[in-house]
Homo-oligomer: A and B are copies of this chain.
Amino acid sequence: MNPARVELQTPVAGVAEYNALIDVNKSISATHVAGVMALEADDFDKPVRDYVFTGSSSARELIDAMSQAGGFSATKLATARDLLSDQFAALDAAGHDAEKCLNWLSFPACLCATGARGFFVEALRQRRFNVVVSTCGTLDHDIARCHSDYYHGSFELDDHELADAGLNRLGSVIVPNSSYGESIEAVVMPALEDIRSERIESTGLSGTELWKGFGTVELCWELGRRVCDENSILHWAAEHEIPIVIPGPTDGSIGAQLFMFRQRHADFWIDILADEQRLSDLTWLARSSNALMVGGGISKHHVIWWNQYRDGLDSAVYITTAPEHDGSLSGARPREAISWGKLRAQAPHVCVEGDASVLLPLLGADLLSD
Contacts and interface: CB of A to CB of B under 8 A. Distances in A.
A296 interface: yes
A287 B158 CA distance: 27
Contacts of A262: 273, 276-277
Interface in A187-218: 187, 190-191, 194, 198, 202, 207-209, 211-212
Contact of A321 (B259, B268, B331): B331
Interface string A256-290: 00110010000111111101110010000000000
Across the A-B interface, give the 4 residue pairs with the lowest CB-CB distance, nearest first. Answer: A69-B115, A71-B114, A171-B327, A50-B118
B74 A358 contact: yes
Nearest to A353: B325
Band of interface residues on A: 35 or more
A268 B259 contact: no
A354 B358 contact: yes
A183 B198 CA distance: 43
A250 interface: yes
Given A11-B149, A159-B338, A171-B326, 18 more contacts: A3-B225, A6-B190, A6-B226, A48-B115, A49-B115, A50-B115, A51-B361, A51-B365, A72-B110, A73-B358, A74-B357, A159-B336, A168-B339, A170-B327, A170-B332, A208-B208, A208-B211, A297-B298
Q: State the oligomeric state as a number of copies.
A: 4
Contacts of A348: none
B45 A305 contact: no
B152 A46 contact: yes
Interface string A1-45: 101111111110000000000001100110011000011110111
A87 interface: no
15 contacts: A8-B228, A24-B154, A48-B113, A58-B58, A65-B115, A70-B114, A71-B327, A73-B355, A76-B172, A77-B358, A248-B251, A249-B272, A270-B272, A295-B328, A323-B353
Contacts of A322: 321-322, 330
